Amino acid sequence: MNHSLQAVKQRFGIIGTSKLLDAALDTALRVAATDLTVLITGESGVGKEVFSKIIHSFSARKHQPFIAVNCGAIPEGTINSELFGHEKGSFTSSVGDRKGYFETVNGGTIFLDEIGEMPLNTQPLLLRLLENGEFTRVGASKTEKTDVRVVTATNVNLTENIASGKFREDLYYRLNIVPIRIPPLRERRDDIYLLFRKFSIDFAERYRMQPVTLDDRAQILLENYPFPGNIRELKNMAEQLSVLSQERMITAEKFMDWMPHILKRNLPAISKGSNESIPLNERDILYKLLFGMKDDLNDLKSLVYELIKTNNLSVPNMGLIQSNRLPAPTNSARSEMDFEDLSHSMDRTADRTTDKMSDLIYDRNTQQHHNATQRFAENANNIKATQPIILTKQQESFDVHEEVVDENLSLLENEKRQIVKALKKHHNRRKEAAKDLGISERTLYRKITEYGLEP
């Protein structure tokens, strides 16, 4: 390892042998001697502020002031005053003149953390300062000059903010002259246990106790944890185990007892840049709509079955009706589902359900007619004789036939006649006619074409 890198690590308390970490440190040392603007990127907790201090300490401005400013922690209404200062009376609480950070750190280095959170109205002011070193206090008309080295950092993707209109593209290119990416902890797994030992020893020395260690299996668990909080989360974990564990040698079982989330893994997810033809939010809406239609159909069938059961009716072809219930799709089926085919399938199922409902209603009306005819025959026979005459099936069929002989019982003709009546009633407005008939508008269109009822 390069001797200068090792000296920098010892001076700033950086622990690790990762090549990615060494490359980031080497870039920081190379750019430190210049006044170029640096953009440090990395996840939260990787130590971006430490790198800004390294750049300042090895620059020609090392004897001048250094200040770190968190742009996300300053309210939008006061950030311009904090950075550039204000004049007395420029706003309600301005009781006097005030210098901003860029004016007080003149000649030194200012570190702007979470630059992606900077308000849009402040960004052109910063761009002007980076271009020619000029700025204007809030409420003032006089232009001031300053000579400040600017180092920025962010844990978000600024290009995405640019695409969404939250960050200026020209400012991004002005800040990103020298980019430095600090690797997350999961990309330097060999350094995880070294850092754990460092944090546990520091904690033990501070509170005069024996430092905790991990056995081999516990180390494997530690090194395979993704650490979304990076070094900050690892330090908290070491200090928590040092306090909670009575044994100084922690086994894998004890480790899992104290830290049950250590087994958590980040599963693959669909990226925002996926080339799917349907956006994720629209896909969710389609799934919700289609599966909701399936539930509605099943509820409708359940309602019909309950009506039949309550009224002691018999239903032919129950097996065929039961077979129409939509199966619950599996996760793999959902991912490969063709929305157009599924939509057509749902329409066909709805049409079949409507037709079967018509059959059930017709069967029920016919059964009620048979019962009414039988009661009429029995009452007539009671008038002629004191003893009731029980009708045989042949007689019952004959009486029923004799009662309805003049009525056309064709279901198709009845259905066609009802459609014609509904269309005439609603002056050929198909939407209202379909609603009156209790069928879908798509089904009504199909029936009109089938029966040749086009106007």
Q: Which architecture characterizes domain 186-263 according to CATH?
A: Orthogonal Bundle (1.10)
Contacts of 135 (CB under 8 A, 6+ apart): 84, 100, 102, 103, 125, 128, 129, 143, 144, 146
Cα–Cα–Cα angle for 231, 261, 250, nearest 5°? 75
* Average pLDDT over every residue of 52-56: 96
Is residue 77 predicted with pLDDT exceeding 90? Answer: no
Could you tell me which residue, 268 or 450, shows the higher pLDDT? 450
| Spatial separation of the C-alpha atoms in residues 203 and 148, rounded to whole Å | 38
Which pLDDT belongs to residue 342? 46
- Report the C-alpha gap between 210 and 212 in whole angstroms: 7
In this prediction, residue 383 has a pLDDT band, given cuts at 50, 70 and 90, of very low
Mind listing the pLDDT tens digit for each residue in 166-195? 999 999 999 999 999 999 999 999 999 999
pLDDT of residue 412: 74
Most confident of 134-143, 152-161, 426-435: 152-161
Q: What is the pLDDT of residues 426-439, one digit of tens each?
A: 888 888 888 888 88
Domain positions in the chain: 3-183, 186-263, 286-407, 409-455
pLDDT at 303: 75
For residues 242 and 334, the model is more confident at 242
| CB 90 within 8 Å of CB 138 | yes
Q: What is the largest CA-CA distance in the chain?
A: 127
Q: What is the pLDDT of residues 321-380, one digit of tens each?
A: 455 554 544 444 444 444 445 445 555 555 555 555 555 555 555 555 555 556 555 554
pLDDT at 433: 83
| pLDDT exceeds cutoff 90 at 400 | no
CA distance 98 to 82: 9
Closest-CA residue to 434 (of 117, 426, 20): 426
- Measured CA to CA, the distance from residue 195 to residue 46 in angstroms comes to 12
Phi, psi of 418 (to 5 degrees): -65, -40
Element at 199 (helix H, strand E): helix 192-207
- Check if the beta carbon of residue 46 is closer than 8 Å to that of residue 229: no
Cα-trace Rg, the chain: 40
For residue 404, name the pLDDT band (cuts at 50, 70, 90). very low
If pLDDT is split at 50, 70 and 90, which confidence band does 235 have?
A: very high
Q: Could you tell me whether strands 213-214 and 134-136 are parallel, antiparallel, or unpaired per DSSP bridges?
A: unpaired
What CATH code would you report for 409-455? 1.10.10.60
Determine the average pLDDT of the residues in 249-258.
91
Angle between helices 339-384 and 441-451 (to 10 degrees): 70
pLDDT digits (tens, 9 = 90+) for 85-110: 988 877 777 777 889 999 999 999 99
Task: Return the CATH number of the domain spanning residue range 3-183.
Answer: 3.40.50.300
Task: Check pLDDT > 80 for residue 40.
Answer: yes
| Type and span of the H or E element at 368 | helix 339-384
Residue 268: CB partners within 8 Å, gap ≥ 6? none
